[in-house]
Structure 1
Amino acid sequence: MIGYVTLGTNDLERGAAFYDKVCGALGTGRMMEWPGAIAWGTAGGGAGIGLTQPFDKQAATVGNGVMVALECASPAQVREVYDIALANGGTDEGPPGPRGDGFYAAYFRDPDGNKLNAFVMGPGAAE
């Protein structure tokens, strides 16, 4: 249903370095690049993520209540993505751990303050 999500940035180079690492840990890389924007994903795969400088040339701001969830294959991958995010300019919003029956997640913000979550869902996910 969702093809991709776009997040704003005020520093494309810094944001690109963050998403290169986080998306790399999820097994995907840059799919498209054009002036002022980069997209990560896999053609024909799940939803991708784009990072862009706002078209209206105004400052990028964070949407209150907006969050992008990155699906992982295991609790170990959730922890890996979270650790990579924090090591590359992200900030903690909730460490990896069970968040209910069959749901394991970690929450963090990218260098521009956009909120993300790495999660796995299903039997054995709440490790």
Structure 2
Amino acid sequence: MIGYVTIGVSDMTRAKAFYSSLLTDFDARVLVDMGRICFIGKKMSEPMLAVCIPYDEQPHDPGNGNMVALHPGSKEAVDTTYHKAIELGATCDGEPGQRIPDQFYGAYVRDPDGNKIAFYHFG
């Protein structure tokens, strides 16, 4: 159902480097780079993450309540991806941990532009 999710950034070079490095363990890479916007994923027929300089050329706004949630595949992978994001320049917005007993394990970061990202695992 989801084709791609777009988040606004202030620096495309930094954003592409951050997300390309962060998502290598997901087997994702930049699939299309159009300068102002690029699409990162496994292939064009699967959901992708797009990062872009806003079309109206106004400053990006991470939004309150907006978040991209990524599923790395296991609780251990949540931990690994969270720590990798921090090493790449993200800031902590909630350390890895069990949020709902036996149901939801998650970790939260803010990318270098302040966009909120969740890494999660159900079960």
Q: TM-score, normalised by structure 1?
A: 0.90
The runs of at least 4 aligned residues of structure 1 exceeding 3 Å deviation read none
Which SS does the other structure have where 1:99 is aligned?
Answer: strand
**Gaps spanning 5+ residues in structure 1: where?**
123-127
1-side partners of 2:99 and 2:26: how far apart?
21
**Gaps spanning 5+ residues in structure 2: where?**
none
Counterpart residue number, 1:60: 60
- Identity, % of aligned positions: 38
Q: 19-28 or 107-116, which moves further after superposition?
A: 19-28
Query: How many residues of Structure 1 are paired with residues of Structure 2 in the alignment?
Result: 121
2-side partners of 1:34 and 1:107: how far apart?
29
Counterpart residue number, 1:112: 113
Counterpart residue number, 1:80: 80
How many Å apart are 1:65 and its aligned residue? 0.5
* Native 8 Å contact 1:26 1:81 kept in 2: no
2-side partners of 1:70 and 1:30: how far apart?
16
What is the CA deviation profile of residues 21-45 of structure 1, one whole-angstrom value per residue up to 9, with x for unaligned ones? 1111222111111121111112233
Q: TM-score, normalised by structure 2?
A: 0.93
What is the Cα-based RMSD across aligned positions, in Å? 1.1
